[in-house]
């Protein structure tokens, strides 16, 4: 009887601890999911107004403009259907280039533009971030995955 | 010619692996000594053939043989020799070949060291390893052949990814894989012991040094990867909760649980089922990590869906390994038995709690890593789970585990009266509390998070000192040297590893609380103040590297007018790939790193500049290194060698094969 009691207490304590852990995990999970939207979705008003999200697409050619003084920079992200202006203050990653794919995290500004708090530099062998490729695919302009060998320049 | 030799060697390696996987297993089932004896030669043959294949690939890279697709895609005639060698494992194909090489190496090592084991157990363990390697070799041959030819040959190669052209990348993959794959030994011993139907203290004792060795390598591998990210990615972070990192961290968490659980199984004969499950879980997570990193599923679920051969193969292999090992476990579990009982407050209960916390933490990482992939596969939207989630989950889950590190080594097995435990730890608790309030106050500000971090770190240190002091003062020897010699190496190893964790926690708390990050626009001659340091931008100069062109900045760092360092961060453009790379300049120190890197050029005389001061950041990696050294001490313990032969005798005497 005593052994059974003890085992019962053990199981209850274990389940309680697991329950707390699960609640903790799921709560943190809920509040930290970052959703992804394409320029077209944002233009259609699907993106949330008060929550952070990720934007992916191509940096439009000749759209990168530097704000005099400081590190401010503006550029336009497009999925070749719709475009959205982006503001960012900070150092852009090496993989950021006009005409290339980009992923930015941030929120919508008062003026309807995107205020990026982070421009992502993944240590990724491909030039095209998956979110950016996804945005182009959804807008009907898929980019073919470059085969390993077409890339040889010489 | 050389690639073809490599190809043939791979096929021969597969044959040896199949022989290793089948013959000894059948032999053990039929109690046929002749078949069981084939395991060692097969293991050695497998290693030789895989090593030959790997050597052939390496030779193709060294010789710039651009008629091999893999070489043409990942090397270049301008690439320096050491990076051409590292490029052997820089690609998908090469890294999987490295995986099988490491696997064959572990198998060969087990074959060498298994002479003192019961014959059937050794044969079965080697057989399991042979089957795993056969699966991987099939994967290499059918989906990832590194020896495919390119006709006509390319004039020059596409070059190795510049991010990988770094000394850290030369050592990181082999060490990481040695850790990953090393858990296959614990797995193979667990499955073999299940098949034998005999999980006992001897089995745990054989598994322990192998598991600890794998854990040490994995610790070093993850540490090197983190260090590499810190100085190569050019923006000063050292852990990103990236899926690739999580893939290596999950087996580390369960592996840590496993080495503690094995200790209980060896010393007390309990936790046997749990230990077996952990061994299966840890190796499965290593395979899952390989799948995540190597199938391309992280980079793009859709690219994965259009060319699914690789991913589907690894996934099927993973399902087969997990499925069959769990089936064997369920079939044999009723035989395992429970072992000695223990009280609610005892060393066993604390180690169990630590195990549960580690596994829950692993599950939380798994959820955060896989959930976005699952949603994406189902086309239910694209989401990401960022560092805030992992931080929010990790601090509260691991804080109690860190607290237990201080208590458990001082608790008694089976039943540990709380008053006695409390008396033993009063001093340590008092010191930790006072220090953890004093240190943030002395530096300047006080927050709960900082104090918690310091508290846990100082608590572990104080508790380790208490434990060592009590043990040494209780030893009967008169001289200090005698007292020191009275304790086994593994005991020192344990405390050293725990001190490593304390150093790690201290470093993380310091960096998170007091780092200074200044991203600014700076012209030549201008200065920026970061903490006590003043950084002056002197200018930039062109430079030409073997396969890149670039500029090097010059920065003078002073403190109170006295020179501290001159730093030269670089910006490189790699010629073959046209990829830009940031090479940060770091002035390392025991109490702080000064980190300077160049952003983009704004005009002729003005650049974006990143200046970070990172207090005690090196303690993070130093802590990992101390953990690994602690593990090394544990492996070096004499009793693994001494008792091994004795244990074998007693067990061989009472051994009866299961019908």
| Contact yes or no for A92 and B521 at CB 8 A | no
* Predicted confidence (pLDDT) at residue A25 exceeds the cutoff of 90: no
Mean pLDDT, range B385-408, rounded to an integer: 91
Taking CB atoms and an 8 Å cutoff, what residues of chain A touch B301? Answer: 130
Domain boundary among B319, B352, B381: B381
Q: Which residues 6+ apart lie within 8 Å of B573 measured at CB? A: B548, B549, B550, B579, B580, B581
Residues A70, A2 share a domain: no
Same domain? For A11 and A52 the reply is no
Q: What is the ipTM metric for this complex?
A: 0.82
**Claim to verify: residue A79 and residue A26 sit in the same structural domain:** no
CB contact under 8 A, A71 and B520: yes
Total domains in chain A come to: 2
Rg, chain A, Cα only: 22
Which tokens go with B19?
């022989």
pLDDT for residue B651 is more than 50: no
- Both B174 and B118 in one domain: the answer is no
Residues B238 and B305 in one domain: yes
Together in a domain, B481 and B586 = no
Residues of A in contact with B150 (CB under 8 A): 149
User: Is B157 in the same domain as B249?
Assistant: no
Q: Does some domain include residue A134?
A: yes
Answer yes or no: is pLDDT of B303 > 60: no
The answer on B142 and B281 residing in a single domain is no
* Residue B156 forms contact with A (CB below 8 Å): yes
Q: Which residues of B touch A153 (CB under 8 A)?
A: 158, 576, 578
Question: Residues 107-146, chain B: which have Cβ within 8 Å of A?
Answer: none
Residues B214, B152, single domain; the answer is no
Domain end call among B464, B494, B514: B514
Q: What does the alpha-carbon distance between residue B537 and residue B36 come to, in Å, rounded to a whole number?
A: 70
pLDDT, averaged across chain B: 90
**A12 in contact with chain B, both atoms CB, cutoff 8 A:** no
Q: Using one digit for the tens of pLDDT, what is the confidence trace for B507-555?
A: 999 999 999 999 999 999 999 999 999 999 999 999 999 989 999 999 9
Band (B305; pLDDT cuts 50, 70, 90)? low
Residues of A in contact with B582 (CB under 8 A): 94
Is A5 in the same domain as A61?
no
Q: Do A104 and A46 fall within a single domain?
A: yes
B103 assigned to some structural domain:
yes
Report chain A residues whose CB lies below 8 A from the CB of B383.
Answer: 33-36
Q: Is B394 on the interface with A (CB under 8 A)?
A: no
Out of B69, B381, B608, name the one closest to residue A35 (CB).
B381
Structural domain includes residue A151? no
Summarize pLDDT for B167-210 with one digit per residue, the tens.
887 889 899 999 999 999 999 999 999 998 888 888 999 999 99
Calpha distance B19→B127 (Å, rounded): 9
Is the domain of A82 the same as that of A109?
yes
Asked whether residue B403 falls in the same domain as residue B506, the answer is yes
**Cβ within 8 Å of B, A 69-98:** 69-71, 90-95
Residue B438 touches partner A, C-beta closer than 8 Å: no
Question: Is there a domain that residue A143 lies in?
Answer: no
With respect to residue B55, please indicate whether it lies within any of the assigned structural domains.
yes
Residues B156, B203 within the same domain: no
Residue B421 lies in a domain: yes
Of B165, B185, B219, at which residue does a domain stop?
A: B165
Asked if B453 contacts B615 with a C-beta cutoff of 8 angstroms, the reply is: no
For residue B346, is it within any domain?
A: yes
Nearest chain A alpha carbon to B159: A152
Residue B651 located in a structural domain: no
In a domain, B468, yes or no: yes
Q: Write down the pLDDT at residue B658.
A: 35
pTM over 0.90? The answer is yes
Q: Is B410 a member of any domain?
A: yes
Q: Which two tokens stand for residue B372?
A: 């976005």
- Judged on CB neighbours under 10 Å (0-12, 13-18, 19+), B141 is middle
My answer on whether B365 and B439 are in the same domain is: no
Domain count, chain B: 4
* Spatial separation of the C-alpha atoms in residues B430 and B448, rounded to whole Å: 18
Same domain, A68 and A116: yes
One domain for residues A29 and A60: no
Tell me, what CATH number does A73's domain have?
2.40.50.140
Domain extent at residue A83 = 35-138
CB-based contact, A3 to chain B, within 8 Å:
yes
In a domain, A146, yes or no: no
Least reliable range by pLDDT among A100-109, B134-143, B339-348, B452-461: B339-348
Place A127 in a pLDDT band, splitting at 50, 70 and 90: low
If asked whether residues B137 and B282 sit together in one domain, one would say no
Chain B closest CA to A27's CA: distance in Å?
Answer: 9
Residue B602's domain spans which residues? 516-616
- Separation in Å, CA of A123 to nearest CA in chain B: 7
- Whether residues A41 and A110 share a domain: the answer is yes
| Chain A residue numbers touching B160 (CB-CB < 8 A) | none
Distance from CA of B132 to the nearest CA of A (A): 29
Q: Distance (Å, rounded) from C-alpha B95 to C-alpha B271? A: 36
Chain B contact for A147 (CB, 8 A cutoff): no
- Partner-chain contact B158 A149, CB within 8 Å: yes
My answer on whether A42 and A22 are in the same domain is no
Element (H, E) at B266: helix B243-268
Residue A106 belongs to a domain: yes
Residue A34: its chain B contacts at CB < 8 A? 383-386
With an 8 Å Cβ cutoff, is A14 touching chain B?
yes
- Residue at B390 is within a domain: no
For B352, which residue in chain A has the nearest alpha carbon? A14
In this structure, the answer to whether residues A112 and A55 fall within a common structural domain is: yes
Whether A76 and A130 share a structural domain: yes
Q: Are residues B142 and B184 in the same domain?
A: no
Residue A150 forms part of a structural domain: no
Indicate left, alpha or beta for A34 from its phi (over 0: left) and psi (-120 to 50: alpha).
Answer: beta
Mean of pLDDT values over B378-404 = 87
């Amino acid at each position: 009887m005593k052994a059974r009691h003890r085992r019962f207490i053990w199981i209850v304590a274990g389940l309680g601890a697991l329950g707390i852990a699960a609640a903790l995990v799921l709560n943190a999970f809920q509040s930290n999911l970052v959703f992804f939207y394409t320029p077209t979705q944002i233009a259609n008003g699907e993106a949330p107004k008060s929550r952070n999200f990720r934007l992916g697409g191509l940096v439009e050619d000749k759209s990168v403009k530097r704000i005099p003084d400081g590190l401010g920079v503006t550029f336009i992200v497009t999925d070749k259907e719709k475009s959205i202006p982006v503001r960012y203050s900070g150092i852009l990653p090496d993989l950021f280039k006009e005409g290339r794919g980009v992923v930015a995290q941030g929120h919508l500004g008062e003026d309807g533009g995107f205020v990026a708090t982070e421009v992502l530099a993944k240590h990724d062998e491909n030039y095209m971030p998956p979110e950016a490729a996804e945005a182009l695919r959804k807008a009907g302009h898929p980019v073919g995955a470059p085969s390993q060998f077409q890339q040889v320049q010489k | 010619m050389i690639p073809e030799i490599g190809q043939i060697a791979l096929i021969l390696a597969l044959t040896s692996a199949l022989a290793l996987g089948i013959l000894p297993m059948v032999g053990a089932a039929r109690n046929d000594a002749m078949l069981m004896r084939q395991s060692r030669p097969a293991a050695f043959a497998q290693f030789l053939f895989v090593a030959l294949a790997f050597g052939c690939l390496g030779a193709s890279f060294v010789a710039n043989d651009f008629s091999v697709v893999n070489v043409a895609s990942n090397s270049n005639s301008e690439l320096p020799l050491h990076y051409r060698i590292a490029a052997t494992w820089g690609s998908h194909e090469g890294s999987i070949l490295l995986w099988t090489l490491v696997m064959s190496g572990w198998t060969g090592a087990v074959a060498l060291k298994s002479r003192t084991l019961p014959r059937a157990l050794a044969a079965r363990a080697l057989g399991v390893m042979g089957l795993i390697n056969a699966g991987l070799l099939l994967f290499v041959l059918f989906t990832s052949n590194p020896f495919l030819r390119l006709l006509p040959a390319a004039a020059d190669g596409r070059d190795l990814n510049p991010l990988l052209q770094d000394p850290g990348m030369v050592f990181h993959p082999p060490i990481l894989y040695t850790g990953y794959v090393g858990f296959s030994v614990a797995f193979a011993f667990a499955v073999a012991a299940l098949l034998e139907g005999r999980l006992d203290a001897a089995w745990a004792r054989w598994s322990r040094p192998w598991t600890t060795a794998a854990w040490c390598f994995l610790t070093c591998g993850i540490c090197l990867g983190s260090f590499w990210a810190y100085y190569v990615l050019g923006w000063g972070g050292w852990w990103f909760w990236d899926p690739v990192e999580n893939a290596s961290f999950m087996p580390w968490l369960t592996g840590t649980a496993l080495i503690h659980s094995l200790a209980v199984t060896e010393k007390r004969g309990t936790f046997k089922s749990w230990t077996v499950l952990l061994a299966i879980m840890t190796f499965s997570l290593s395979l899952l990590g390989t799948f995540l990193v190597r199938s391309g599923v992280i980079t793009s679920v859709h690219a994965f869906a259009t060319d699914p051969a690789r991913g589907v193969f690894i996934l099927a292999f993973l399902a087969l390994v997990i499925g069959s090992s769990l089936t064997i476990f369920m079939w044999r579990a009723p035989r395992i038995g429970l072992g000695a009982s223990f009280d609610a407050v005892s060393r066993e209960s604390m180690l169990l709690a630590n195990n549960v916390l580690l596994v829950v933490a692993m599950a939380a990482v798994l959820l955060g890593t896989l959930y976005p992939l699952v949603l994406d596969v189902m086309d239910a939207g694209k989401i990401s789970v960022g560092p805030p989630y992992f931080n929010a989950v990790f601090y509260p889950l691991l804080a109690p585990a860190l607290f237990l590190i201080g208590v458990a080594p001082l608790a008694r097995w089976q039943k540990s009266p709380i008053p006695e435990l409390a008396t033993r730890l009063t001093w340590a608790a008092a010191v930790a509390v006072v220090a953890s309030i004093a240190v943030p106050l002395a530096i300047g500000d006080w927050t709960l998070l900082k104090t918690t971090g310091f508290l846990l770190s100082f608590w572990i240190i104080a508790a380790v000192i208490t434990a060592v002091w009590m043990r040494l003062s209780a030893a009967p020897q008169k001289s200090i040297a005698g007292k020191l010699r009275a304790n086994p190496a593994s005991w020192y190893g344990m405390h050293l590893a725990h001190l490593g964790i304390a150093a790690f926690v201290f470093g993380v708390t310091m960096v998170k609380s007091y780092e200074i990050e200044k991203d600014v626009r700076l012209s030549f001659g201008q200065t920026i103040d970061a903490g006590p340091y003043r950084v002056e931008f002197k200018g930039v100069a062109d430079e030409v590297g073997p396969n890149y062109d670039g500029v090097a900045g010059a920065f003078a760092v002073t403190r109170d007018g006295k020179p501290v360092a001159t730093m030269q961060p670089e910006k490189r453009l790699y010629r073959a790939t046209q990829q830009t790379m940031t090479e940060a300049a770091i002035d390392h120190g025991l109490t702080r790193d000064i980190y300077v890197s160049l952003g983009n050029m704004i005009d002729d005389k003005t650049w974006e500049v990143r200046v970070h001061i990172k207090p005690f950041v090196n303690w993070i990696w130093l802590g990992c290194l101390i953990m690994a050294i602690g593990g090394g001490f544990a492996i070096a313990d004499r009793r693994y060698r001494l008792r091994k032969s004795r244990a074998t005798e007693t067990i061989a005497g009472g051994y009866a094969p299961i019908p």
